[in-house]
Structure 1
Amino acid sequence: MEVKENGTAPLPCLSKYVDPSSEESHRYYLARRNALVMLRDRGYDVSSEDISLSLDDFRNVYGERPDVDRLRISAKHISDPSKKVKIVFFSGMVKVNAIRSIAADVLSQETITGLIIILQSHVTNQALKAIELFPFKVEIFQITDLLVNITEHILKPEHRVLDDKQKKRLLKKFSIEEKQLPRVSKKDAIVRYYGLEKGQVVKVNYRGELTHVAYRCVW
């Protein structure tokens, strides 16, 4: 599309001024940083230096067109070091051979209890079936899911995940069973962000003219 200005000759589309390589590194920078913050919010030990890395420093380290294998992240849970998660990035369509390669690479080098895959494209049906064979939980995010941190949005209420003891106290306090709590889907963006499982409960603080608290059980 071209744009005319004051009846003069048409100006070239502004997208022509965008450096594709810079855009690519910027997307990976944002996705990786927000993935690190997501892990930290889940209770994993993540370096604050990695989170605060500037875009320029990111480009100095990983280049304008980052090698996705270098962007991988490994982290242990602070309260339970036996829990270890790995994040891997894919730049193109993910086929079954790519999943087999990741399985051979990751499982042969370290013991992990969770895997997060961040995609630029999509996963084939055969690859999805291969993912189901992993002996631990595998989560899939599109890179666009992580370009912003949804928990920091001004319109998003504050969510806090209850541990098992807090959940039991809540049910006892109101003399109810788990199934009587309002439900939230496992596909909900906040549920996916925190990696929650069925039965976990989140406390939601709504702030505005009328401040109130609600509880939701993942279902």
Structure 2
Amino acid sequence: MDGENCICSYVDEGSVESHRYYLARRTVLEMLRDRGYTISDSDISLTLPEFRSIHGQRPDLERLRISTTLISNPSKKILVIFCGTDVVKLGIVRGILSQVSHDNLSRMILVLQNKMTAQARQATKELFPYKVELFQITDLLMNITKHVLKPKHEILTPEEKQKLLSKYNVEEKQLPRILEADAVATYYGLEPGQVVKVTYDSEVTGLHVTYRCVM
């Protein structure tokens, strides 16, 4: 009987829906903090039971929205919107555009639970006056940068990038490349031309540092 009670204590009796939102929202919060946005430790350390006590078993997507600013430049704001389970069509994108206050917004993230039509995807590029990033919720259920096999990535400032190029007397195009669509590049929201310092440290490779330019 004690064994059964022990096993039962590990069973999640809440909804799968709330668990998915909890995991995805936590990853987004960690991602924003890693990008240099203002995120409190208490938000990231929120437990699943605490999340459910606030948002319930069927969270209201409006209440899951995240709005915060860059620590280095508070005038730059980002907004994260969780979309519903329907296919995201052009009308939904236009609805988001009309309902959102665009004051000081420099970037937006849409977390999708279903596919997005080609028309809607194109609209995110043409209708919004800033970059709109798209993430599938299934890609946010775990933080890829915390994987044991992932090397450490650090984004260089423009000044650091210039010092690197001058130090080795190379041009940007001569650096090893990382695609803008790479999972790590999308996690950090990197743009073409930005440079990341990649540090490998394992028993196989030892300590090894390389630099990659986003393309």
Q: Does 1:153 align with 2:147?
A: yes
1:127 aligns with 2:110: no
Q: Matches of 1:40 and 1:179 in 2, distance apart?
A: 29
- Is this contact kept in 1: 2:108–2:130, CA < 8 A? yes
Pairing 1:39–2:35 present: no
**For residue 218 of structure 1, what is the aligned residue in structure 2?**
214
Report if aligned partners of 2:76, 2:104 keep a CA contact under 8 Å in 1. Answer: no
The equivalent of 1:53 in structure 2 is: 46
Larger Rg: 1
Partner of 1:201: 195
Q: Deviations over 1:108-162 (max 9, x none)?
A: 6x43110000011111122112212211000000001111111111000001000
Matched, 1:22 2:15: yes
Q: Secondary structure at the match of 2:100?
A: helix
TM-score by length of 1: 0.88
Indicate the residue corresponding to 2:64 in structure 1.
71
The Cα of 1:67 is off from its aligned counterpart by 1.3
Alpha-carbon distance in 2 for matches of 1:122, 1:63: 26
Runs of 4+ in structure 1 off by over 3 angstroms are none
In structure 1, the gaps of 5 or more residues are: 1-16
Q: Could you tell me how far apart the structure 2 residues matched to 1:96 and 1:63 are?
A: 30
Count the aligned residue pairs.
201
Task: Tell me, yes or no, if structure 1 residue 115 matches structure 2 residue 108.
Answer: yes
TM-score, length of structure 2 as denominator length: 0.90
Q: How does 1:164-203 map to 2 (within 5 A)?
A: 164-203=158-197
Cα distance in 1, alignment partners of residues 68 and 146 from structure 2: 22
2:17 and 2:192 map into 1 onto residues whose CA distance is 36
Kindly indicate whether the alpha-carbon contact (under 8 Å) linking 2:200 and 2:208 is maintained by their aligned counterparts in 1. yes
Q: Percent identity?
A: 54
CA-atom RMSD in angstroms: 1.4
SS of match in other structure, 1:113: strand
Aligned partner of residue 69 in structure 1, secondary structure = coil
Q: Distance in 1 between matches of 2:185 and 2:84?
A: 25
Q: Tell me by how many angstroms 1:101 deviates.
A: 1.2
Q: CA deviation at 1:18?
A: 7.8
User: Could you say what secondary structure the match of 2:108 adopts?
Assistant: strand
Q: What is the CA distance between 1:107 and its match in structure 2?
A: 2.9
Aligned to 1:95: 89
